[in-house]
Structure 1
Amino acid sequence: IPGAEIDRQFEVIENNSNAPKLVITKHEQNAAFMAQAVGRLTGNAGVVLVTCGPGASNLATGILTAQTENDPVVAIAGQVQRQDLYRRSHQSTPTVLLFNGITNFTTEVQDAVNLSEVIANAFDIASAAPKGASFISLPQDVDDSPVSSQALEKVENISAGPASPEQTKFLPGKIRQAKLPVILVGQRGSDEKTVKALHDFLHATKLPVVETKQSAGVIDRSLVEQSFFGRVGLFANQTGDQLLKASDLVIALGYDAVEYEPRVRNKNNKLPIATIDSIHAQIDAHYNPKIQLVGDMPVTIYLLAKQLNNYSLSQESNTLLN
């Protein structure tokens, strides 16, 4: 959404055929949600550009949502010129303080020379695990300043390696021992590469799967009859909830506690849990995984599949599922 402090940005975008596509919205919150949708659907950070004051503060709900749901977003907001930052001037707002607690990265550009590196870091941090939001405050006089430094080349995403070999070998043994192992797929397990690896894994192992609301649609039609057992519900009364209660080993794939509170389904903290994720689990009184496979999720899943060659659910498991 245009505004006086960032008009120069819009002029450059509008008149440059190589610039990103410009979409004008009627409200900053809508723009933030649209950028979040881009981040979730493509895996690349969506970008939102707004003016200062209420233009920036209107972003807060959308940016907090992207941060909470691990969707990569880079927000750039105009700011009054630096000499007015400490004054009670028109639309002067301490946006760094506002966004510092709800993003992975927040900063204010104080020198145009640093602009390219600030933007590079914002995109890099928003796109790295755990994905989330970055916020850049751009004072008007910095935006108007000539830039003598060269733009940095695109920062390539860093690929993590698989989980530790010891844990990757340990989990298959636990799966073979379990009477009813169940996979709980969360938001971080719903990206294209992880879903492809999961589908191949399920075609081989035929393990049952429960989705959170944020990972809805991970299981496609080719696997519905074999592996899909619904989604968890708010009141723990859905088929997926009942299956988790009956399980003696829950394998949480890319699951985040914000999606489905552990205390709802693990009140006594007796449920054996293993995680496969790109980040460490948040431990609490109802969620204390005994095994954590932290690393590149698709690669880790493929390694697990090799360890579970010729695995099949027991007759007892199939009886419970049917």
Structure 2
Amino acid sequence: MKATDVIVQSLENEGVEYIFGIVGKETLDIIESISKSKQITFIPVRHEQGAAFMASAYGKFFGKPGVCTSTLGPGATNLITGIASAFLDYSPIVVITGQAGLDKQHKPYHQCIDLVKIFEPITKCAVQVLDNQSISEMIRNAFRTSQMEKPGPSLLVIPENLAMEPAPPKNLPVLSLPITIPDSKTIIEACDIMNESQKPFVILGNGLIRQNGVEEFSSFIEKLQAPVTHSFTAKGILPKNHPHNYFTFGFEENDLILSGVDEADLLILIGFDIVEKLPKDWNRKKLPILHIDAHVALVDEYYPVQVELIGNIQKTLKEINTQQILSKNWTPSSNVKKNIEQSYHISHNQKETSHLPLSTENILHIIENVSTNQTILISDVGAHKISIARTYQPKQAGGVLISNGYASMGTAIPSSIGAKLARPNGVIICITGDGGAMMNFAEIETAKRLGISFIMIVLNDYVLKLEEQMMNKKFGNSFGVNFGNPDFVQLAMSFGIKGVRPQTLSEFEELLKSAISSEELILFEIPLP
């Protein structure tokens, strides 16, 4: 077998169903090998950045690495933004790129740059194949490394000359990742600290969702009876109406939960990814920390760890739940929760929509009203991301995808494609600003070609709103943030999909319900003042 046939066989062994990418001269052999697979579908995209975002969202929602591919040089570097996003948002991805032959890499060669060095800072492992004897092992290691906590990208570079040469097939076993839990002594010590505290406060991160610990956490908080707040990527772990749900934290301004956090005498961090918000921003009093995570705690002056419970979060919480946990049943003073609900527009009247303006928050209320456990809301990056983080309450953990590590604009449309392929029965709704939409709008053609249905909502205000707000605050005026836009409805129609421009909130609600029931690919343009 030639090397690329072995690569495809190894990918099949990993259970790969889709590979996102663009064909290039140095990947002709691997694409030809994929074409013969009865298991793997190659999805040609319009830009490699889109391929990386699709693979990232697919990996996030499928639970196993998404796969993307590109040729050498500009094809590979076009992947970088999506790969960096996966790296800081902890999405499992395996990346396969072409490269110039080994016989050409020792001298300047057309489009040839050192991809391993470029990708090393944004991958968990980055290697170039130098020996066809080890291809199967390298792919197995790439998938295994990508899935281990914290998950992220792995890169495999295939020189053109090796791609065509023979390689031995090896069917390596795909073993489950090892599961570890803290020893019983440390768990007892952690429980003692919780029981000694009077006002513990729980801060949740996406690691709890990644490690399937939501059910165990629900049992834990029923025992502890303490306030809980979520990072942007952890929204939905506690139901909206849960008495201990203090919603979301991590905002640059108006982070109302911090006054409640300041009252605590112990912070319990579960699966929290520091990349979302540094401790200095939310642990202003340097309160003691109980750290529950798959990884050891960050050394930080504002993260004074008392006990670390390192291991599988689900199993760790299960062990904690067998211990005696004293109920605290305390509430932060000054009506913190009520203030959050009002200021973040979380509370709303579901029946009265006819007289309300077509604002971002009111749109989110409509989506929340019609959503189910199968609804996934995908946010692009911009001012609307903050509104989604504050206002929208998903009906399930992981029911909203927000990039809060790398926070790259342009992620929403391609991510919706990856999410729909991973969750074909889900209702995918993406919200993007006009700036983010135009960055990867071409991938609508990819979705149309694949027959994928999801709902795109483009908030159109002809400005980078978040940057405008920051400049006005800092300088008293703004510059360089305004631009012109196409007619998004007509642009959607030119791609062969439906485009609508509702004028009222009631009209938006009816059109949204119709789009959900008809399972169509549709674009909503919402003009904002």
What TM-score comes out, normalization by structure 1 length?
Answer: 0.91
Percent identity over the alignment is 27
Letter in 2 for 1:122: A
Letter in 1 for 2:82: G
Alignment match, 1:85: 105
Alignment match, 1:259: 276
* In structure 2, C-alpha distance between the alignment counterparts of 1:73 and 1:321, rounded to whole Å: 45
Question: Given the alignment, which residue of 112, 137, 151 partners 1:131?
Answer: 151
Letter in 1 for 2:37: N
Contact 1:66–1:73 (Cα < 8 Å) also in 2: yes
Letter in 2 for 1:289: V
**1:51 and 2:67 aligned:** no
**1:232 and 2:249 aligned:** yes
Q: How many residues in Structure 1 have an aligned counterpart in Structure 2?
A: 314
Instruction: Report how far residue 196 of structure 1 moved.
Output: 2.2
Contact 1:159–1:296 (Cα < 8 Å) also in 2: no
CA displacement 1:77-134 (0-9 Å, x = unmatched): 0001111112222211110110112211110001221111111111111111222111
User: Which runs of structure 2 are paired with 1:201-280 in the superposition (5 Å)?
Assistant: 201-221=220-240, 224-235=241-252, 237-269=254-286, 271-280=287-296
Contact 1:209–1:229 (Cα < 8 Å) also in 2: yes
Contact 2:211–2:312 (Cα < 8 Å) also in 1: no
Question: Given the alignment, which residue of 289, 312, 316 partners 2:305?
Answer: 289
Letter in 1 for 2:199: L
Contact 1:164–1:294 (Cα < 8 Å) also in 2: no
Alignment match, 1:17: 38
Instruction: Report how far residue 22 of structure 1 moved.
Output: 2.1
**1:299 and 2:342 aligned:** no
- The alignment partner of 2:262 has SS state of helix
Question: Which one is further off, 229-238 or 32-41?
Answer: 229-238
* In structure 2, C-alpha distance between the alignment counterparts of 1:275 and 1:187, rounded to whole Å: 14
- Specify whether residues 39 and 186 from structure 1 end up closer, same or farther in structure 2 by C-alpha distance, changes over 3 A only: same
Question: Given the alignment, which residue of 170, 174, 184 partners 1:155?
Answer: 174
Which residues of structure 1 form unaligned runs of 5+?
Answer: none
- Specify whether residues 195 and 242 from structure 1 end up closer, same or farther in structure 2 by C-alpha distance, changes over 3 A only: same
Instruction: Report how far residue 204 of structure 1 moved.
Output: 3.7
Contact 2:24–2:71 (Cα < 8 Å) also in 1: yes
* In structure 2, C-alpha distance between the alignment counterparts of 1:321 and 1:186, rounded to whole Å: 26
- The alignment partner of 2:44 has SS state of coil
Alignment match, 1:4: 25
CA displacement 1:44-72 (0-9 Å, x = unmatched): 11111111101111111211121112221
Contact 2:67–2:95 (Cα < 8 Å) also in 1: yes
Question: Which one is further off, 170-179 or 276-285?
Answer: 170-179
Alignment match, 2:82: 62
Instruction: Report how far residue 143 of structure 1 moved.
Output: 0.9
Instruction: Report how far residue 181 of structure 1 moved.
Output: 1.1
Contact 1:77–1:136 (Cα < 8 Å) also in 2: yes
- Specify whether residues 129 and 3 from structure 1 end up closer, same or farther in structure 2 by C-alpha distance, changes over 3 A only: same
Letter in 2 for 1:40: K
Alignment match, 2:464: none
Letter in 1 for 2:266: L
Contact 1:109–1:115 (Cα < 8 Å) also in 2: yes
* In structure 1, C-alpha distance between the alignment counterparts of 2:139 and 2:96, rounded to whole Å: 9
**1:117 and 2:133 aligned:** no
Contact 1:187–1:212 (Cα < 8 Å) also in 2: yes
* In structure 1, C-alpha distance between the alignment counterparts of 2:116 and 2:211, rounded to whole Å: 34
* In structure 2, C-alpha distance between the alignment counterparts of 1:296 and 1:150, rounded to whole Å: 34
Alignment match, 2:166: 146
CA displacement 1:180-222 (0-9 Å, x = unmatched): 211111121222621222123223433321100121222235x
CA displacement 1:284-314 (0-9 Å, x = unmatched): 12112111100111111011111135x3224
**1:36 and 2:51 aligned:** no
* In structure 1, C-alpha distance between the alignment counterparts of 2:68 and 2:332, rounded to whole Å: 51
Letter in 1 for 2:29: R
* In structure 2, C-alpha distance between the alignment counterparts of 1:268 and 1:181, rounded to whole Å: 14
- Specify whether residues 238 and 319 from structure 1 end up closer, same or farther in structure 2 by C-alpha distance, changes over 3 A only: closer
